[in-house]
């Protein structure tokens, strides 16, 4: 793929479909390694807006100055999310991805203070408990990629009171995964692990589940629709601030 010219829209859509259709994780990562040289051009052809919209959501929910926040970008790819974060003043960025070639291009951007090779869902994140003020995972929560069972690992590395921002797709091939993800998020909220703050539904085929703030103590369940634009907090306990 590295030797090909930038693809037309049908060619790029076929490439994306091929990536989504690979069930084996090792084969999928190899596909992303080969795709890495053309990835940025291809997503530009698609007018892929998920990184910008996810960071918009994080910026809306984040309570403090962005420059002092330590952020983890999970499944960071070539660093598209990091570029959006830096543009909004988030400067302390760590990233992880399972593709060495994607990481090579992310490193070339010069935006991350630390990058690690890690495939979430196959291994734990390479960070201690309670490290990050915010954790984002954009574009990797879908069928055949990061499993819903990995969500608690995102929580593990997030500081109490920190934020977790997630995206997934709403197209028909991903609806079963989306339903399972929503059930996972709801069960964690019911258990008092985190509180829903913001939820957005985009018309780009990408659904942004709530940006969540994680609390160490139980909270009452929040009543809000995961497919609407909402910002909620505990009725019985004020939102934690730094």
Q: List, as own/partner pairs, every contact residues 207-210 make where C-beta atoms lie below 8 angstroms and the sequence separation is at least 24, other chains included.
A: 207/167, 207/168, 207/169, 207/170, 207/178, 208/50, 208/53, 208/54, 208/57, 208/165, 208/166, 208/167, 209/166, 209/167, 209/168, 209/181, 209/182, 209/185, 210/166, 210/185
pLDDT category of residue 94 using cuts at 50, 70 and 90: very high
Rounded mean pLDDT of the chain? 81
Any residues with CB less than 8 A from the CB of 156 and at least 6 apart, and which? 124, 125, 129, 130
**What pLDDT score does 156 carry?**
92
Task: Name the burial class of residue 128, with classes exposed (0-12), middle (13-18) and buried (19+) by CB atoms within 10 angstroms of its CB.
Answer: exposed
pLDDT at 232 over 50: no
Q: What is the pLDDT of residues 29-44, one digit of tens each?
A: 999 999 999 999 999 9
Q: What angle do CA 88, 66, 68 make, to 5 degrees?
A: 140
pLDDT value for 45: 92
Strand residue runs (E) in the chain: 70-74, 92-97, 114-117, 132-137, 158-166, 168-169, 194-201, 206-214
What's the first-to-final CA gap in the chain, in angstroms?
46
pLDDT at 1 over 60: no
Q: Examine the pLDDT at 128 and tell me if it is beyond 90.
A: yes
**Sign of the dihedral through C-alpha 109, 198, 140, 116:** positive
Residue 168, pLDDT score: 85
Whether residue 241 has pLDDT greater than 60? no
Pairwise pLDDT comparison (57 vs 208), residue with the higher score: 57
Rounded Cα–Cα distance for residues 98 and 106 (Å): 12
Backbone angles phi and psi of 66, in degrees to 5: -65, -30
| Mean pLDDT in residue range 141-148 | 89
Q: How many CB atoms are located within 10 Å of the residue 13 CB?
A: 14
Residue % of the chain over a pLDDT of 70:
79
d(CA 157, CA 135): 8
Tokens (6 digits) for 185:
């998020």
User: Would you say residue 75 has pLDDT above 70?
Assistant: yes
Token reading at 137? 């995972």
């Amino acid at each position: 793929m590295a030797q090909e010219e930038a693809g037309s829209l049908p060619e790029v859509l076929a490439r994306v479909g091929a990536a989504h259709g690979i069930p084996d994780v090792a084969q999928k990562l190899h596909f992303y390694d080969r795709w890495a040289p053309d990835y940025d051009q291809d997503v530009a052809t698609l007018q892929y807006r998920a990184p910008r919209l996810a960071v918009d959501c994080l910026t809306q929910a984040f309570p403090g100055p962005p420059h002092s926040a330590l952020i983890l970008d999970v499944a960071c790819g070539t660093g598209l999310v990091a570029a959006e974060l830096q543009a909004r003043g988030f400067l302390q960025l760590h990233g992880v991805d399972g593709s060495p070639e994607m990481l090579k291009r992310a490193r070339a951007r010069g935006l991350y203070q630390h990058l690690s090779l890690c495939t979430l869902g196959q291994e734990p994140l390479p960070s201690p408990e309670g490290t990050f003020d915010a954790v984002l995972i954009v574009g990797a929560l879908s069928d055949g990629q990061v499993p819903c069972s990995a969500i608690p690992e995102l929580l593990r590395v997030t500081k109490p009171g920190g934020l977790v921002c997630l995206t997934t797709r709403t197209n028909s091939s991903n609806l079963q995964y989306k339903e399972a993800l929503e059930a996972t998020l709801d069960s964690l909220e019911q258990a008092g692990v985190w509180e829903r703050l913001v939820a957005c539904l985009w018309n780009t085929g990408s659904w942004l589940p709530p940006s969540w703030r994680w609390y160490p103590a139980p909270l009452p369940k929040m009543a809000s629709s995961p497919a609407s634009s909402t910002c909620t907090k505990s009725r019985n306990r004020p939102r934690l601030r730094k």
